[in-house]
Amino acid sequence: MNAFCKLFICAGIAVSLAGCGLGTMKPNYTSTNNDLLRIGGDKPSDKEPEIINSGSYCLQIIDKWKADGKTPDGQTIWSKDSLRKALPCR
């Protein structure tokens, strides 16, 4: 390979790498369903346990929010755990 081909290949690689770096987008930290996932802020309040009568049995539902990591810019990711338990009706 002559020097011109090597220079042409190196220039092509440099232009390709520079082009990849220019197209980065700012991340969007939003959720379409704020009932299951929230970004940033303080911990959402947990609801009181709920008991639903389903006829032959009752269902207890407990919703708890937990910190589930951080975004790259340091905001807390809050996710909700829903715990369900079958109970005899009173």
User: What is the Cα–Cα distance from 11 to 89, expressed in whole angstroms?
Assistant: 75
Average pLDDT over residues 38-54: 89
In angstroms, the CA 23 to CA 3 distance is 31
Using CB atoms within 10 Å of the CB of residue 44, give its burial: 0 to 12 exposed, 13 to 18 middle, 19+ buried: middle
Strands (E), the chain: 37-39, 50-53, 58-70, 76-87
Domain of residue 61: give its range.
Answer: 3-87
40 pLDDT band (50/70/90 cuts)? confident
Q: Which residue has the higher pLDDT, 74 or 27?
A: 74
Q: Rounded to an integer, what distance in angstroms lies between the CA atom of residue 47 and that of residue 4?
A: 70
Return mean pLDDT, the chain.
83
| pTM score over 0.85 | no
The structural domain count of the chain equals 1
Binned at pLDDT 50, 70 and 90, residue 38 comes out as confident
